[in-house]
Amino acid sequence: MITRFLTEVSTVFNPFSPKAKTARLFLSFLPSNARQTIKINTKMLPKISREPSFVELKFSKKSPPSYARPSAVLSLMGGWLTMGHFIEDGKQMKLDAEKLGIKGVVEEVDRHSRILSRQEELTGN
């Protein structure tokens, strides 16, 4: 999984729910040194909670140094792939992490990261 452009990861999930598997696995796929460059927020819901789990990601358009991280939101929740709503440098997308599964979520993150990487190469920065 390409994490070079990630600046923030926020998750909310019920650790006892089988539907939260995607959110838990996504957190485990982050590299061990991710806390140095990525802000990670995790909220665990109580066992009786029926709230859906979600993962929210923020990307920077460029691969900035660790001290300056402008961001754009990629939100993995809700149920539909929606592009639009420019937030600072990037696009906002919403995915149903429960229906896509971990493989689909990682593919979408990698696809978006490859787009940002190509844009960075084309601008020569």
pLDDT on residue 98: 74
The residues, ordered by sequence, that sit 6+ positions from 106 with a Cβ below 8 Å of its Cβ are 1, 26, 29
pLDDT on residue 48: 93
Compute CA distances 55 → 4, 89, 99, 118, whole Å.
17, 20, 13, 25
The SS3 assignment for 85 reads: coil
CA distance 31 to 3: 8
* Spatial strand order in the sheet of 39-44: 39-44, 6-13, 54-59, 72-76
Please calculate the CA angle 13-17-23 and round it to the nearest 5 degrees: 40
Tell me the pLDDT tens digit for each residue of 53-112: 888 888 877 654 444 333 444 444 444 333 333 334 556 666 677 778 899 889 988 998
The residues, ordered by sequence, that sit 6+ positions from 65 with a Cβ below 8 Å of its Cβ are none
Tell me the pLDDT tens digit for each residue of 18-69: 988 999 999 999 999 988 888 899 999 999 988 888 888 888 776 544 443 3
